[in-house]
Amino acid sequence: MEVESIFMNLHWIDWTIIFGSTAFFVVVAYRTKRYVKSTADFLSANRCAGRYLLTVSEGMAGQLGLITILAQWQLYSKVGLTSQWWVNLQIPIVLMMTLTGWVIYRYRETRVMTLAQFFEVRYSRRFRIFAGCVCWISGIINFGIFPAVAANFFIYYCNLPEHYSFLGIGCSTYYTMIIALTGISLYFTFIGGQIAVLVTDFLQSTFSNIVLMAIVLILLIKFPLSDVFESLLNSEAGKSMVNPLKTGQSDFAPFYFIVIMLNSVVNRLAWQGSQAYNSSAKSPHEAKMAGVLGQFRGLGFTYALMLMPLVAYMIMHNPDYASQTHQVAELLGRIGNIQVRDQMSVPMTMTLYLPVGFIGAFAAVMLAAHISSNDTYLHSWGSIFVQDIIIPLRKKPFSNKQHIWALRLSILFVAVFICVFSCVFRQTTHILYFMAITGAIWMGGIGAVILGGLYTSWGKTAAAYASLLCGVVMAGGGLVCEQFWMSWYGTNFTLPIQYIYVYCAILSIIVAFVAGRIATIRFSRFFGRIVLFLSILAIGAVVALIETRQSVWALSNVPWPDCNLIMNGQRVFFFAMVTSITLYSLISLSGRRRDFNLDKMLHRGQYRIASEHINDKAGASIHTGMKFSLKKAFGITEDFTLGDKVIYGYTILQSVVFFALFGAVTIIVLFWGLSDRAWADFFYYIYWFTISFFFIVSVWLLIGGVFDLKSLIKDLRFKVRDLADDGRVSNDSKQTLPKDDVGVKQ
C-alpha cells in the first residue's frame, strides 16, 4: 500500500464523528448559559459539584488533556514500563500526605477562600498582588504551547495541507488551527464559566472513556499483550524498556522522578491550573472524597494510555512489522521539528491499525481532550488575574454584571496571548521539561512560602519575597538559556559541573546554619550548636570524599571533574526549589525575630470556632486534648458514611500493598538481581490487573457522575444566589488579626 493512500484524507465517517461530537458539546455549553446568574456561578459553579462529577471532570482537564497525553507518550516511548516503577516511590509519601492532611488541613483551618487570600492574611496585601502577578505570568507562559502542540497534532494526524487558499489568499493551516482550537475552547469558558467547563468536561470525559476502552480492546485483540511485552525485551543493550535500573536514559533518569516526588511535597496546593475545581465542591468532604476517587481513576488511566506507545514501540522495533515501520518513518520524515516528530511518533503509528471510524473517534477524543484542558486553564488564569490582581487593587467593588464581564475580558486576553505565544515560540525540548521549567517560575519559590506560612511562626514577609523572586530568576533565566543557548554556543544548555559542585557546597553550609538556628529556637542554644557542628562535619566529610576519590557525582551521572551538566527543565526546577527553601529559612531566621500568631490564623486554642466542630470529633480533639483516635489518624471524620470508609480503606490498603510489593522487589533486585524477563513478567501481571481495574472504575464513576450532574443542574436551578459571594476579602470576612500579625514589616 502506498504511503499517500494510507491516510491522505479521513473517511467521511471519521469526519462525521469529529464534527458531530464537537457540535454536541458546543450545544451543551450554550445551554449552561442560563445558570450563570452570579459571580460565584461563573467562578466555582456556586459550589454545587459532587465528588463523582469533580473526579471525572477534573481528571479530563488534567490527566487527559491533549498535551498531557502526548507528553506522557514521549516519556513512555523512551522508558517504557520503567517509569511506573519509580512512580511507586511516591506511594508512601502520598499516603502520608493524605492521612495527615499535609498543607490541606491547615489551609482549611485558615478559612480562606483562595491561596491569594492566605498570602494576604499571613504576609501582606502587597505580597498577595506580587504573588498573583508571578502566578499568572508563569501560568500563561506554561499554557502558551498548548495550541501549538494541538495544531501540530491535528495537521499531521489528519494529514492536512500546510497551506490553503481562502478567497484567493494563501493561508497557513498551522496558524488557522491555533486560532480555531483556541476559539472553540474560549467559547466554552466565555459562555458559561465554570458551570460550562464542569458539565462539558464531564461529557467529554464520558465520551473519551468509551472510545478509549474500545481502542484498548482493539489493541489487545490485534496485538496480544504477550507479544507486546516480548518486543520490549528486544530493546538496545543498556536501554531496557522493562528494567528500571538499566534504562540508559539521561532525560528520564531516576533523578527526574525524585524531583517529581519532591515537588509533590513542597508544592502541595501550589499549582493553580485547575484552581476553580478546588472551590466547586459542595463541601470540604466532597472535595476530599473526589481526591480519593481521583486515585482510582488515575491508576487505570495511566496504564490504559500506556498501551498505545508500547504497541508503537513494538511496531517500530519488531522485524515482523518492517513494512509498517517504513511507512511510519516516511510519514514522520515530513516533520521538520525534531520535538514535533517525537510527539507524533505514536499517533502516526495508530493510523496504521485503527479501523475506519476509530481513527476519527480518536481524533474527536483528542479534540475533546484539548478543549477540556484549554477551557479549564483559560478559566483559571483569566480568573486569577481578576481575583488576585485587579480586585485587591480596586477600591470600589464590581457589580455582579461588571465582575462577570471583567472575568470574560481577562479570559479573552489569555486566549489572545497563548495564540501569539504559540505562533512565535520554538519548542526545543520535551513537553514535560517545558512544563517543568515554566511551572518553576511560580513553583520554584512558592512552595517555601506556603509551607513557611502554614507551619512556622517565624516566616517573614521579606523571606516570602526573596523565595518567590529566587524561583522567578532561576527558572526564568533557565527558560531563556534553554531557548537561545544553542544559537549562542552551538550546544545544549550546560553548566560546568565544578560550578554546580561549589554551589551545592555553599548551599549545604547555609542549610547547616539554618538547621542549627532552628534547633536553637525549638530546643536550646547548646543543642543548636551541636546540630551545627555535626552538619558542618558531615559536609566536610562528603567534600573530602569527592576530592580524594573523584567519585561519580549523583546528579551528573558522569565522572568528576572534567565535564558539563545538561541543565534541562527538571534540573533547573530542582535547584530553584532547593535554593528558595534555603533562602526563605535563612532570611526568616536572621535578624530580629517576631513570631506570627499561628493559633489565631488557624483558629486554634482560644480562637477556636466552636460551631465548626459540633459534630467533628477529630477536629475537636486537636484543641481539647482528647485521647488518640485511630479514625483521626487516618483522617476519618463524622462526615464519612460506611461507603466512604470502604472506599477510603481500600485506597489505603491498595497503597500499602503496592508499596510493599515495590519494597519486596527492590530487596530481591539488590541482593539477588532480576532478569529482564522477570521484570517483563512482573509488569505483565500488574498491567492486566490495572487495565481490568480501569474498565470497572470507568463504569462506576460514569454512573456516579450522571447522578451528580443531575443534582448540579437541580441545585443551580433553585439555589438562591448571594451576589456578595465574589471572592473579595471584605472587612467583615477578614480574620481579625492585629496589623502587626498580618505581615512582619521589614
Contact 683, 22 (CB under 8 A): no
The confidence score (pLDDT) of residue 467 equals: 94
The confidence score (pLDDT) of residue 723 equals: 67
Q: Confidence band (pLDDT; 50, 70, 90) for 185?
A: very high
344 contact partners, CB below 8 Å, separation of at least 6: 152, 153, 156, 157, 332, 335
The confidence score (pLDDT) of residue 686 equals: 87
| Residue 131 clears pLDDT 50, i.e. is over it | yes
Higher per-residue confidence, 49 vs 484: 49
- pLDDT over 70 percentage in the chain: 87
Tens-digit pLDDT profile for residues 248-282:
666 677 788 888 888 888 898 888 888 778 778 88
Tens-digit pLDDT profile for residues 431-483:
888 888 888 889 989 999 999 999 988 888 999 999 999 989 988 888 778 77
68 contact partners, CB below 8 Å, separation of at least 6: 62, 369, 373
| Residue 542 clears pLDDT 80, i.e. is over it | no
DSSP H helices in 550-616: 569-589, 598-602
CA distance 479 to 440: 10
CA neighbor of 727 nearest in space, from 137, 116, 34, 125: 116
CA distance 598 to 478: 36
Average pLDDT over residues 280-297: 80
- Select, from the ranges 226-235, 507-516, 608-617, the one with the highest average predicted confidence (pLDDT): 226-235
Residue 153 in grid coordinates? 497534532
| Residue 715 clears pLDDT 80, i.e. is over it | yes
Tens-digit pLDDT profile for residues 545-604:
666 655 444 444 444 445 777 777 788 888 899 999 989 988 888 877 778 888 888 877
Cell numbers 444566589 label which residue? 721
| Residue 735 clears pLDDT 70, i.e. is over it | no
Q: Confidence band (pLDDT; 50, 70, 90) for 3?
A: very low
Average pLDDT over residues 127-150: 92
**What domains can you pick out in the chain, each with its CATH number?**
3-445+595-612+649-742 (1.20.1730.10)
CA distance 456 to 597: 10
The partner residues of 164 in beta bridges, in order of sequence, read: 171
655-673: b (≥16 Cβ within 10 Å) or e? beebbeebeebbeeeeeee
Does residue 561 have a cis bond before it (omega within 30 degrees)?
Answer: yes
CB atoms within 10 A of CB 633: 11
| Residue 619 clears pLDDT 60, i.e. is over it | no
Distances (CA, A) of 176 to 152, 155, 367, 375, 717: 11, 11, 15, 18, 38
| Residue 70 clears pLDDT 90, i.e. is over it | yes
The confidence score (pLDDT) of residue 591 equals: 75
pTM, to two decimals? 0.83
| Residue 211 clears pLDDT 90, i.e. is over it | yes
Higher per-residue confidence, 41 vs 200: 200
Average pLDDT over residues 153-160: 92
CA distance 643 to 627: 26
Average pLDDT over residues 596-617: 68
101-130: b (≥16 Cβ within 10 Å) or e? ebbbebbbbbbbbbbbbbbbbbbbbebbbb
Distances (CA, A) of 248 to 88, 244, 682: 20, 9, 20
| Residue 160 clears pLDDT 80, i.e. is over it | yes
Instruction: Give the mean pLDDT of the chain.
Output: 82
The confidence score (pLDDT) of residue 554 equals: 43
CA neighbor of 634 nearest in space, from 621, 620, 622, 648: 648
The confidence score (pLDDT) of residue 31 equals: 93
Q: Confidence band (pLDDT; 50, 70, 90) for 513?
A: confident
| Residue 614 clears pLDDT 50, i.e. is over it | no
